[in-house]
Amino acid sequence: MKTIVLASNNKNKIKEFKDILPDYDIKTLEDIEFFDEIEETGKTFFENALIKAETIHNYLKEKNLDYIVISDDSGLCATALNGEPGVYSARYSGKHGDDKGCREKLIKNLEGKDKEAYFVCNIVVYYPDGTYKSFEGKTYGEILDKERGNNGFGYDSIFLSRDLGKSFGEVSNEEKNKVSHRYRAIKAMLEEL
């Protein structure tokens, strides 16, 4: 079984990767004893994914470990808000990880505007030799005026998926993982690998 280091401690993200990649041994940052905060200073999803992947690649190199590193940066983009919240999706409310506050702010900012939106996931695969490749996935839909469903995380309960006709909060992980931005980026990555 091939080992990959996933440059994340986000439990929801780790679960999605493990569900979509059952044939890989996925190690988390905790597993490799990396506890520093990685500052995401990029202006795009790709730049942030690359910063995380490169940081972990360098950390593994110092420890003489030759693992492939996978990093992703993802978020929600509302067309009427010029792509907001975008790379600031997790901290849109002003506080990192305040999912409810982020959802409420987005709903308020879209009042009276077009509700079209899409999720983006950019994955960087960083190889032990220092080369890397990038893959992107998107899924389209619209923002609901109120939450629907209790599943998922982040913006899932207010994102009405065009593919499913339901919010990501109303569907199972299995259903979401067949059409999600992360699934599509991982699928593109697997085709390349």
Q: Give dist(CA 126, CA 114) in Å, integer.
A: 38
Nearest to 134 by CA among 58, 63, 64, 73: 73
| Choice among 73, 98, 99, 129 that is catalytic | 73
73 is catalytic: yes
β-strand 24-27 against 84-85: which pairing, if any?
unpaired
Residues annotated as catalytic are 73
